[in-house]
């Protein structure tokens, strides 16, 4: 008997969930993401990134070598931990993020954005898990805090990671536009490249186990450290 293909579209998130994800992905979310370049500004200052192609290549590498293997993997695991009420696992993942930040700036970024997101969550419905988040020492990190915010939406892990990655992409493309500098059309072309690369990166991140998470990007760490004493700069990292 010939196989009948199921041509039905995959189930989409309900409108409320979709709007919550769009809200979390927005650069307007008041967590300060727009003020960081994550080493990109130092790469521009050093002459490694001077045009649209180089900026796009840099961000694609950062997505695949850093974000996918680190923040996205932690986000997926934290989301599961929040949903089953595993505070010990949440604390373990938060500590891993703090321990693997390779420069003072990168650590300050994840702590500041984590605290800011926790404060934003206070404006929303009461959630007893928020006390667990705020008690993390020395601070909640951004992917762990984002996981709690996403857990409140009821969205599937894949949707949450797509949301996080696209929000990161928008912030980083805007950093490139300001610092290279580039035009808006160049920014849209870079964002299109990242949008094509995000889904496979998310699929890989969802499969990573603890021993497969990585935080190893030597050049990025060096540039981030150099940025701390850079003479003139627009961004905090």
What are the tokens at 64?
A: 């695949």
* 153-200 pLDDT per residue, tens: 999 999 999 999 999 999 999 999 999 999 999 999 999 999 999 999
Residue 87 maps to which CATH number?
1.10.4190.10
Q: What are the CB-based long-range contacts (under 8 Å, 24+) for 226-229?
A: 226/42, 226/46, 227/39, 227/41, 227/42, 227/45, 227/103, 227/105, 228/103, 228/104, 228/105
Inter-CA distances, 175 with 71, 101, 172, Å: 19, 20, 5
Residue 18 lies in a domain: no
Number of domains forming the structure of the chain: 1
Residue 12 lies in a domain: no
**Residue 234 belongs to a domain:** no
Evaluate whether residue 32 is within a structural domain. Answer: no
- pLDDT, tens only, 71-127: 999 999 999 999 999 999 999 999 999 999 999 999 999 999 999 999 999 988 789
Asked whether residue 25 is domain-assigned, the answer is no
Closest CA to 173 of 204, 165, 29, 225: 165
Cα separation, 149 vs 121, whole angstroms: 7
pTM of the model: 0.93
117: nearest Cα among 147, 159, 160: 147
pLDDT, residue 169, reads: 97
Q: Is residue 121 part of a domain?
A: yes
Instruction: Report how far residue 31's alpha carbon sits from residue 46's, in angstroms, rounded to the nearest whole number.
Output: 28
Instruction: Give residue 232's pLDDT.
Output: 78
């Amino acid at each position: 008997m010939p196989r009948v293909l199921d041509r039905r579209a995959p189930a989409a998130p309900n409108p409320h969930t979709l709007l919550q994800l769009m809200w979390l992905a927005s650069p307007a979310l008041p967590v300060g993401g727009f003020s960081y370049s994550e080493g990109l500004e130092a790469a521009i200052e050093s002459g490694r990134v001077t045009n649209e192609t180089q900026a796009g290549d840099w961000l694609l590498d950062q997505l695949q070598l850093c974000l996918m293997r680190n923040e996205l993997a932690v986000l997926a695991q934290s989301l599961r931990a929040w949903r089953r009420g595993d505070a010990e696992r949440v604390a373990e993942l938060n500590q891993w993020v703090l321990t693997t930040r390779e420069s003072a700036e990168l650590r300050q970024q994840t702590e500041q954005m984590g605290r800011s997101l926790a404060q934003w969550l206070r404006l929303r419905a009461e959630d007893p898990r928020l006390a667990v988040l705020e008690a993390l020492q020395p601070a909640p990190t951004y992917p762990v805090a984002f996981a709690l915010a996403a857990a409140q939406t009821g969205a599937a892990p894949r949707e949450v990671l797509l949301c996080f990655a696209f929000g990161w992409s928008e912030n980083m493309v805007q950093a490139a536009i300001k610092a290279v500098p580039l035009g808006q059309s160049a920014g849209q072309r870079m964002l299109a490249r990242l949008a094509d690369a995000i889904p496979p990166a998310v699929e890989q991140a969802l499969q990573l186990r603890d021993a497969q998470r990585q935080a190893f990007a030597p050049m990025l760490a060096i540039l981030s450290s150099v940025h701390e004493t850079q003479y003139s700069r627009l961004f905090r990292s």
